Amino acid sequence: MVLSPKEGAKIVASKAKHVKIEEEGIKKLGDRIVEEITSGKLSPENFSQVEVHPSSDEPWALDWLFVVDTLNFCFWHNENEEGWKVEGHSGYFALCAAINRAIKEKVDITNPIFYSTITEKQLQNILRSDTKIECPLISDRVKCLHEVGNALLENFEGSFKNVVKQCNNNAEKLLQLIVNNFNCFRDEADYQGEKIAIYKRAQILIGDIWACFKNKGIGYFEDIDKITAFADYRVPQTLLWFGAFEYSKELNEKLKNNVVLKNGDEEEVEIRACTIHAVELVKEYVNRKLDDKKANSILIDHFLWDFRRQNSKQILDKGLPFHKTFSIYY
């Protein structure tokens, strides 16, 4: 049996040796989230206000989200090195900019008929960089596009919209549809005899649909609160900044020395699972303090991820490293 992200994360957090969740830091972060939501700074509206994101009235918005989140993994580079950039953007936003550029150039990138047979050369051109640094893991990205494109054509009449329709506005059902039909989204790990699900990209896809469509129409999910945080390599840095996380001395040394952790290693699983559980604790704290507006893990994750981007220099100056892993899952 595979434990859900929420269940698995709670078990890992209770056994973790390398990552400790600190109650005072959870409260400190929770108070900041309450302030952000109450002031209106943190809301689902923020998704559509980002220039590289589509609006819900674009006919290809769902297909765009599916392609982007199929490719949304592993953009990191060491802090002192130049990275991959597209139209001035880095990381995930560079990916968005590259897909938008391809659409402007009349590349049929949101069509599974095209990307189910895309070549490495074609994808390299779509993801071409402003710098000398190319997008990493190109061959893995090609494999992911082939896999999901063929699955859409074989099982869903070539449309991701048909996947979403099948869930009947139920986020948990959509999550299972995604991980059961598109293997590259099946982000699972073994931890001390337990099989746990993390499902970063599958959940962020649901979160992006929810945010893009502002919880309306095809983007409405009756159980959106069941979706957890998106455990990546950036969000944990914000948890460290607020004191919600503490790493063991051994893990800290590895991260400061840029040791690359393998996907599935105990330390890597603990960082990611504890990220999920910490955000669940923050959510519970925040919702006890809020009167009418309610927070979910998606909104909290948006804050954590944005905070890391906006305060990257201060976080690095404070000596809070991110863990490095080559993986298609985040």
The pLDDT score that the predictor gives to residue 23 is 98
pLDDT surpasses 80 at 292: no
Of 80-84, 134-138, 252-256, 302-306, which gets the smallest average pLDDT?
80-84
The pLDDT score that the predictor gives to residue 181 is 98
Cα–Cα nearest to 47, from 238, 200, 214 = 214
**150-209 pLDDT, tens per residue?**
999 999 999 999 999 999 999 999 999 999 999 999 999 999 999 999 999 999 999 999
> Distance (Å, rounded) from C-alpha 302 to C-alpha 46?
9
> Distance (Å, rounded) from C-alpha 282 to C-alpha 288?
10
Tell me which residue has tokens 């900019």: 97
At what angle are helices 23-39 and 297-310 packed, to 10 degrees? 90
283, 297 in Cβ contact below 8 A?
yes
Which residues carry out catalysis? 232
- In angstroms, how far is CA 233 from the centroid of its own chain? 9
**75-108 pLDDT, tens per residue?**
998 877 888 999 999 999 999 999 999 999 999 9
What mean pLDDT value characterizes the chain?
95
> Distance (Å, rounded) from C-alpha 86 to C-alpha 82?
13
**DSSP assignments along 260-329, one per residue:** BPPTT-HHHHHHHHHHHHHHHHHHHHHHHH-SS----HHHHHHHHHHHHHHTHHHHHHTT----B---S-
The pLDDT score that the predictor gives to residue 43 is 82
pTM here is 0.94
DSSP one-letter code for 259: P
Average pLDDT rounded to a whole number, residues 113-130: 97
Average pLDDT rounded to a whole number, residues 107-131: 97
Using a pLDDT cut of 70, give the percent of the chain over it.
99
Proportion of the chain in helix, strand, coil states, percent, rounded to 5? 55, 5, 35
Is residue 44 very low, low, confident or very high in pLDDT (cuts 50, 70, 90)?
confident
249's CB contacts (< 8 A; 6+ apart) are none
Is residue 47 very low, low, confident or very high in pLDDT (cuts 50, 70, 90)?
low
**208-242 pLDDT, tens per residue?**
999 999 999 999 999 999 999 999 999 999 999 99
pLDDT surpasses 60 at 48: no
Strands (E), the chain: 2-3, 19-21, 85-86, 89-90, 188-191, 194-197, 245-247
In this structure, is the dihedral angle defined by the CA atoms of residues 246, 248, 254 and 259, taken in order, positive or negative? negative
Q: Which two tokens stand for residue 244?
A: 């919600």
